[in-house]
Structure 1
Amino acid sequence: MSYKTVLSVTGIHQSDDDLRAAAELCASAGAHLSALVVALSASPPIGEYAAAVSVDWLDERSREIAKLDERAEDAKALLAQTGISFDVDTIYTEIAWSDEEIGERASYADISLLGPGLKLDPELRVRAIDGCLFKSARPVLIVPKRGKPTLSPRTIILAWDSRLEAARAAREAIDMMKNAEVHVTLVDPRASSARNGEEPGADIAAYLARHGIEVTVDRLASGGRPVDDVLNQHALDVSADLMVMGGYSHSRLRERIFGGVTRAMLESANIPVLMIH
């Protein structure tokens, strides 16, 4: 997959570090950077106290919009110095439908980049991941603290469990894997014709081999440890600089609830993670 447009989502209270990292990534890949600065608005006051607090609420909205515009101008000034192709846009939206709006923007990029600075605004981070991952049908590159985003990794872990999301993630990362050392990694796999096959990992290894990719199949025993701990330790053991995995969830009303391993990896990954739903 050739990545020609990268969407970087940031908030109004972040430093410039995530934008700088996104600019470096785009410079190395020859890609266009779409920087999206997002501010989440509180819902308007309702009920018997609405009249009393509406003025304060409107004043707060005005301050947030001014801050959003200021942050966007700062982003333009920073990116203008990098020499890359870029655009900067803003969203001021209520929390309830922010994921829909972010997801719509992500639909017009090849990949979304979410840096560690988003952890300063946990609500925005959750909404950005939700929107980019589940509402855009595009991959998301999630970068942890002290992680360096890359589209040209040297060593890749493909977290494999034979499910649809993992298959989509593998297909998305094929071009990356052609030039990398690839570890197809299964945790506590069960040999079954209906799931992993009689030799877990063999089928996906054969599929990747037909694309000219040499892989090592690593079948790991958890020993009762959480799967994310096992994957993170294995990433350290093989000096991986990217993990590729499917993003899992289930819906409840209008809330998107991440699956257990997905949620854990979003919080605990020690290297960048490329996810696709």
Structure 2
Amino acid sequence: MSVRTILAVVGASHGDEDVRIAADLCAQADAHLSILVASWAPEPMGRYPTMTPGWVEQRDRSVQALKESVERARQLLGRREISYDVDSVYSEVAAADYDIGERSIYCDLLLVGPNAFADPDLKRQVIGGGLLQSGRPLLLIPPDTEPTLQPKTVLLAWDSRAQSARAAREALEMMTKADSVRVTMVDPTASLRGSGDEPGADVATYLARHGIKVTVDTLPSGGKSVAQVLQQHAVDVSADIIVMGAYGHSRMREFIFGGVTRSMLDKTKLPVLMAR
């Protein structure tokens, strides 16, 4: 993945930190930054919802807050020596992910900053639009972390499935420049069609051909969840980022994820690059 355009979706009421982090990453990658400030209409209340005067007043406040957030983002970025643009989207909750998905098509990397990460509604819309609808790689940045696009140590979560292979391809350039890549498997099973006789050997060979310094780590779950094992191992090897495939689909606007993906989306303590 060659990162030339980064899209950061931020909330209208709490986007400043996410904008600053996105700007730092763009400066690091010499990439263009697109900021999309997102907000949506409040849902009408009651058994028979109507657009009451109170609802209209609340909507007007939301629109005004959105305009102010856009202007604040432009002021923050105007002091930075990077290429950028700032746009906004105001929609019904059910349609926000469509708008985000359409914008995501034109970026190389989609960011979920710490404030967006802590906002379940916004995070769900970004993941649904960018990761599921548009298939763009997604960088999750939880609070109190130091994200980088130039990590020294990368943990690649590997299970020999297409999604983890896609994540590996998206992170090839990043892993090529890293000091170490830890291909990590939890309770792998040797099989002819899956992991082969020696789980991890095939992907290690593939990465080594790209000049990547690879170590294969095979870990037992020991009664813990796969997500817990991966996160603890990332800490143990001082990984700067976790790279992994995302498993999930959208059905009737319900986003359904597998257990490991869901745990990482909700509870990761390190930046995570996801692809599917």
Tell me whether the two structures share a fold, i.e. TM-score over 0.5: yes
- CA deviation map 1:118-168 (0-9, x unaligned): 144321111112211111121111011111221111000000001110010
Shift of 1:103: 1.0
1:157-168 correspondence runs (5 A): 157-168=155-166
Question: Quick one: structure 1 residues 15 and 237, their matched pair in 2 at CA, closer, same or farther if it must change by over 3 Å?
Answer: same
Distance 1:48 1:159 in 2: 48
The structure-2 alpha-carbon separation of the partners of 1:212 and 1:48, relative to structure 1 and needing over 3 Å to count, comes to closer
Q: Which residue of 1 aligns with 2:77?
A: 79
Report whether the alignment pairs 1:185 with 2:197.
no
Label 1:216 to 1:38 Cα distance change in 2 as closer, same or farther (>3 A): same
Partner SS state of residue 224, structure 2: coil
Aligned to 2:147: 149
Between the aligned partners of 2:36 and 2:24, the Cα distance in structure 1 is 16
Unaligned stretches of 5+ residues in structure 2: none
CA distance change for structure 1 residues 74 and 247 in 2, over 3 Å: closer, same or farther?
same
Q: Aligned pair in 2 of structure 1 residues 120, 208: CA closer, same or farther (>3 Å)?
A: closer
- Listed as ranges, the gaps of 5+ residues in structure 1 are none
1:34 corresponds to: 34
SS in structure 1 of the partner of residue 274 of structure 2: strand
* TM-score calculated relative to the size of structure 1: 0.95
- Write out per-residue CA displacement over residues 172-203 of structure 1, whole angstroms, 9 at most, x where no aligned residue: 11111112110000000011112111100011
- Change in Cα spacing, 1:47 to 1:28, as seen in structure 2 (3 Å) is same
1:138 counterpart residue number: 136
Note the alpha carbon deviations across 1:9-54, whole angstroms, 9 max, x for none.
100121511111111111111111101100022345687562xx52
SS of 2:52's partner is helix
User: What is the identity, as a one-letter code, of the residue corresponding to 2:200?
Assistant: G
2:53 and 2:11 mapped to 1: Cα distance? 25
**What residue in structure 1 maps to residue 57 of structure 2?**
59
Letter in 2 for 1:197: G
- How many percent of aligned residue pairs carry the same amino acid? 52
Distance 2:41 2:63 in 1: 9
Q: Does 1:6 align with 2:20?
A: no
* 8 Å contact kept, 2:204–2:216: yes
The amino acid that maps onto 1:211 is H
Counterpart CA distance in 1 for 2:43 and 2:20 is 32
Q: Do the aligned residues in 2 keep the contact of 1:14 with 1:120 (CA within 8 Å)?
A: no
Aligned to 2:256: 257
Provide the C-alpha distance between the structure 2 equivalents of 1:78 and 1:132, rounded to a whole number of angstroms. Answer: 25
- Aligned partner (choices 82, 93, 96) of residue 95 of structure 1: 93
Which 4+ stretches in 1 moved above 3 angstroms?
43-49
Q: Distance in 2 between matches of 1:49 and 1:81?
A: 44
Measured against aligned partners, the alpha-carbon deviations of 1:62-114 in whole angstroms (never above 9, x if no partner) come to 11001100100000001101121110000001111211111111111110111
